[in-house]
Every structure is written in C-alpha cells, then in structure tokens.
Amino acid sequence: MPLTELMNYFNDQLQQRAKAQSLPKTGFFKVKNNYWARFGNLILGSRLNPLLSLETKEQLGYDAELLIRTTTGNLLDIDSVFTSLDDREQVVHLDRLVRTLHSLNYLQQYDGRTDLLSLSVHPRHIISVATDHGKIFEKILSDCGLGPERVLLTTRLLDSASLPHFHNALGNYQRRGYLLGISLSRVDELDLLKRLNVSPYALVVDNRNIGAEVQQFAQHSQEAFTLLTRATIAAVSDDGDNNLQIPA
C-alpha cells in the first residue's frame, strides 16, 4: 500500500478511536517529504538519527527522535507532555501515535533498508497497559510492512516498585519478536537492570559519561548485550537537507 494511502487508513482509524474514547483530535499529515502528526494542540515530527555501536561506532540502523511544538510555537519535550496527561487512554494513544509516525517517516526516507529502527516506548505507556504489551502495535507495524524483528523497542526503567510490571511487559514484547533495548542515563539504573530478570538485546547509552560503567557491566554479565548509542545529527528538512522545520 502506498504510504499516502496508509496515512489515510490510519487517520480513519484514529478518528474512530478518538470518538469512541473521547481522545484529543489526532491525525497524520504530510508536508513535502515528511510525515507529521497532530495531538490536540501539539504538532509532532520525527528526526531519524544514526544508531551506532558504542564500541565500534558502526551504524546499525536509525533511532527515531520526537520533535514537539505547540500551535503557539513553543517547543516541548516528551516527558513534560506525558506528565501533563492524566488520562491513561491518552497516554497509550499518544505513545502509539508517536511510534506510528516514526515508522511512516522511516519508510518514507529509508524504504528498502533492512537495518534496525529504534523506537522509544515511554515508561508511562508501559505502566498504563495491563497486559498484552505490543499486540496492537504489532498490527500497526504489519500494516507498514515492518516485522517486529526489524524494530528495537527501547524504554527506561523507573524504580524498584514498578520492576514486576516492567518484567511482565518487556517479556510480552520479547515473546512477540521485538528486539528490546534498555536506555541508560545514570549509573544507578544498572542496579534496576540487574533486578529486572529480563535480558534485553541492547543497552542504549544516553549519557556518554557512563559509557565506561556500562561496558564494564556488560563485560561482567553472563548475558551478551549489544551496546548502542544514539548519534545526534542535524534534523532532516522537508526538502531532505539538514534543517527540519516544524510546520505551523
């Protein structure tokens, strides 16, 4: 299915879901060579950065970064947006919307490649879904022509109290064939990882200052982790150059 038809198909589904669940107005739209999404008064975009081996710097795929702007022009970060949402259904809906948007942009820019697409799953999404994590998104990926074996789902751990829920959720993702990554920005998160009792495919280092500690952890672990880092590059513009502009 051509991507524009797929976008229209997703928009029909989004409208039905928004009416049924009283969700903010959402939908995808295309400006030149990029797909965008609306969630209430927010405009969402994708920036695809190289996903690199921490040790060799070899590029293994692309990591999707979210760009958010309000209709008044303010730039926001994803955590502040999720913190502002009180409704569980809105949290789940927004997180799936973002990952679907990234999938569309990946296919628009890199269709035909066979490397990894790294997509973040927000921790609030994980704790907001009771069971069957990954089931609905698996259907979305199938519609996009992407198998779960091509997708690295990354998340970060929150605290000790939520570890049992994360254990079940991440196990569900793995059983559906997704590759699993744990994002690390603090050394103390390694202790949570030890107690998670789930073996991720990759450890994604978000803070280069802890790279040595993560490498040491991996060397002393019985598990074989792939160590990854995200390379931040200039955004891709509507014309495919290096200056992405979020549309009004």
Q: Look at residue 114 and tell me if it is in a domain.
A: yes
User: What CATH number does the domain containing 167 carry?
Assistant: 3.20.20.450
Q: Look at residue 236 and tell me if it is in a domain.
A: no
Span between the terminal Cα atoms of the chain, in Å: 28
pLDDT confidence of 193, banded at 50, 70, 90?
very high
Number of H helices, E strands in the chain: 8, 10
125: helix, strand or coil:
helix
Separation of alpha carbons 75 and 45, rounded Å: 11
Which of these, 167, 162, 161, lies nearest to 198 by C-alpha position?
167
The tokens for 82 are 């999720």
pLDDT confidence of 140, banded at 50, 70, 90?
very high
Per the structure, the count of domains in the chain is 1
Q: Look at residue 25 and tell me if it is in a domain.
A: no
Q: Is the pLDDT of residue 245 over 80?
A: no
The whole-number pLDDT of residue 236 equals: 35
Question: To the nearest whole number, what is the mean pLDDT of the chain?
Answer: 91
| 158-182 pLDDT tens trace | 999 999 999 999 999 999 999 999 9
Q: Please indicate whether residue 22 or residue 94 has the higher confidence score (pLDDT).
A: 94
pLDDT confidence of 54, banded at 50, 70, 90?
very high
Quick check: 71 and 55 in contact, CB under 8 A? no
The whole-number pLDDT of residue 244 equals: 62
Please give the residue range of the domain that contains residue 114: 44-67+89-230
Q: Is the pLDDT of residue 234 over 50?
A: no
Q: Look at residue 81 and tell me if it is in a domain.
A: no
The whole-number pLDDT of residue 21 equals: 82
